[in-house]
Amino acid sequence: MTTQTAENVKLFNSGHTACAGCGLALAARLVLQATGPKVIIVNATGCLEVFTTRSPQTAWGVPWIHSLFENQAAVATGVEAALRALGRGDEARVIAWGGDGASADIGFGGISGMWERYDDVLYICYDNEAYMNTGIQRSGLTPFKGHTSTSPAGKASLGNMKQKKNIPAIAVAHGLPYVATATVGYPKDLERKVKKAMEFKGPRYLQILVPCPLGWGHATSDTITMSKLAVESGLNPIFEYIDGKLATAMTVKQKPVEEYLKPQARFKHLFRDAAGAEQVKLIQEIANNNFAKFKVEAVK
């Protein structure tokens, strides 16, 4: 099933059906702004695919393919292999996109395979910290104590029991030449990292935190504020690893985690009683550990 795009369109067009305040739509535009037109996008099933390509319309001004929820890495491998086999290697670079569910959970085996094969694919995980497209269910990247529809807070539970799966560390362990995190609240940093990633051959990993007003339960006008608070709280460190070594980490003035948690409905159960307050202390510890690990000067 294909549909053509109008001539001379932008690489990522408006008119799609993303929710108001969607951090992901912003990320998609910023990424393509950084790569330019010579890319082929392989998109896992999820919000990005759903809101950009309701047939016969498409928001994409670059070649784009969606196959399934969990095969974006292997499809990207195939596209990249075809370009080489057909002598079209200079035509475009391949980028695979998947959400946190498609990347950390259902599609993870395929991603590990692609990294091990060392295919020349930039893998971008857009992390909105739950299965937002299907109604805010818990994923492997849902934060500690976050309420989702499948890790609900209740009398016997204070939300998600696990910490986020550390995909960047797993990526580094695969020997990737470039691994980085970014978020839409710092667009220049995001664009720089996409450009940097494109300087390397082989598999690269970029994890972009994208606030989701619907799933996180914050005002649609606060997407950028929440993105920045996610970093300033220390809960989502922004860094890059080059050839397995920490190359840069974003230095920010630390803010207490409450400032990040309180405006979000998914954490409101933590501010009702003493049991919740205990959990907030644990979350502060996670943040403090992140600061200890990543608050470093850039390596020249």
Partner 1 sequence: MKKVTEGLKAVAESVALCRPDVISAYPITPQTHIVEELAQIVADGKLKCEFINVESEFSAASTVLGASAAGARAYTATSSQGLLLMMEVLYNMAGMRLPVVITDANRAVSAPINIWSDWQDAITVRDAGLIMMYAEDNQDCCDMHYQAFKIAEDPDVQLPVMVNMDGFILTHAFDPIDFPSQADVDKYLPKYKPLDFLSANNPRSFGLMGGPDRYLETRYAMAETFKSITPVILKAADDFKKMFGRYSGGMIEEYRMEDAETVLVSMGSTISDLKEAVDTMREKGKKIGVLKIRILRPYPAAEIKKALGKCKRVICVEKAISLGGPGILAAELKSAIYANANKPEVSNFIIGLGGRDVKQEHIFELVEKAEKGVCETEFIGLDKKLVEEMDK
**61 forms part of the interface with partner 1 (CB under 8 A):** yes
Least distance in angstroms from the C-beta of 117 to partner 1: 7
Residue 150: CB atoms within 10 A of its CB come to: 14
Task: Report the DSSP pairing between strands 239-242 and 39-43.
Answer: unpaired
**152 forms part of the interface with partner 1 (CB under 8 A):** no
**39 forms part of the interface with partner 1 (CB under 8 A):** yes
How far apart (Å, rounded) are the C-alpha atoms in residues 2 and 10?
A: 18
Residue placing its CB nearer to partner 1 in the complex, 33 or 254: 33
Q: With beta carbons less than 8 A apart as the criterion, state whether 229 and 255 touch.
A: yes
Please count the residues of this chain forming the interface with partner 1, following the rule CB under 8 A.
51
**117 forms part of the interface with partner 1 (CB under 8 A):** yes
**145 forms part of the interface with partner 1 (CB under 8 A):** no
How far apart (Å, rounded) are the C-alpha atoms in residues 216 and 223?
A: 10
How far apart (Å, rounded) are the C-alpha atoms in residues 18 and 1?
A: 22
| Among the residue ranges 26-34, 48-56, 97-105, 274-282, the one whose residues contact partner 1 (CB under 8 A) | 48-56
Residues constituting the chain: 300
Q: Is 48 left (phi over 0), alpha (psi -120 to 50) or beta?
A: alpha
x-marked contacts with partner 1 along 69-98 as a string, rule CB under 8 A = -xx-xxxxxxxxxxxxxx-x--xx------
**18 forms part of the interface with partner 1 (CB under 8 A):** no
Question: Which segments of 137-256 does DSSP mark as H helices, in order?
Answer: 167-173, 187-199, 223-232
**135 forms part of the interface with partner 1 (CB under 8 A):** no
Single residue of 64, 126, 178, 241 touching partner 1 by CB under 8 A: 64
**113 forms part of the interface with partner 1 (CB under 8 A):** yes
Least distance in angstroms from the C-beta of 205 to partner 1: 17
Q: Is 183 left (phi over 0), alpha (psi -120 to 50) or beta?
A: beta
At 65 the three-state DSSP class reads strand
Least distance in angstroms from the C-beta of 171 to partner 1: 16
Q: Which residues bind partner 1 (CB under 8 A)?
A: 1-5, 37-40, 42, 49-50, 53-56, 58, 60-68, 70-71, 73-86, 88, 91-92, 109-110, 112-113, 116-117
